[in-house]
Amino acid sequence: MPLFEYRCTACDSHFELLIRAGSPDPSCPSCGSTALEKVISLFAVTTTGTQLKSYDAIRKQQRKDAKQAERDRAHDHHHDDHHHH
């Protein structure tokens, strides 16, 4: 089943849809418009190596996000301690 990438000309949303035989005409999930353009995209090839790289990148981003969230909490706590009325 082919996966197609679209751009909605009404709201400029970009999205992918899995199109099956007999599927109704696609519409934008953001605004519902059927004024769509197919976007030319490259096909994806996944190997064990690319999967591992992808997982590593995700874990690295999650660690970075967790550290930022901890810094944000510490900042908020510090701010509350010093600006408490």
Q: What is the pLDDT of residues 6-53, one digit of tens each?
A: 999 999 999 998 888 888 889 999 999 999 999 886 666 667 777 777
Single-letter code of the amino acid located at 9: T
How is the chain split into domains, by residue range?
3-39, 45-85
Residue 20 forms beta bridges with which residues?
none
Edge-to-edge strand ranges of the sheet holding 3-8:
14-18, 3-8, 36-39
Rounded to two decimals, the pTM is 0.46
Residue 85 has pLDDT above 60, yes or no: no
Instruction: Report the alpha-carbon distance of residue 25 to residue 58 in Å, rounded.
Output: 34
Count of Cβ atoms closer than 10 Å to residue 40 Cβ: 6
Residue 84 has pLDDT above 70, yes or no: no
Count of Cβ atoms closer than 10 Å to residue 36 Cβ: 19
Q: What are 49-79's pLDDT values in tens digits? A: 777 777 788 888 899 989 999 998 888 887 7
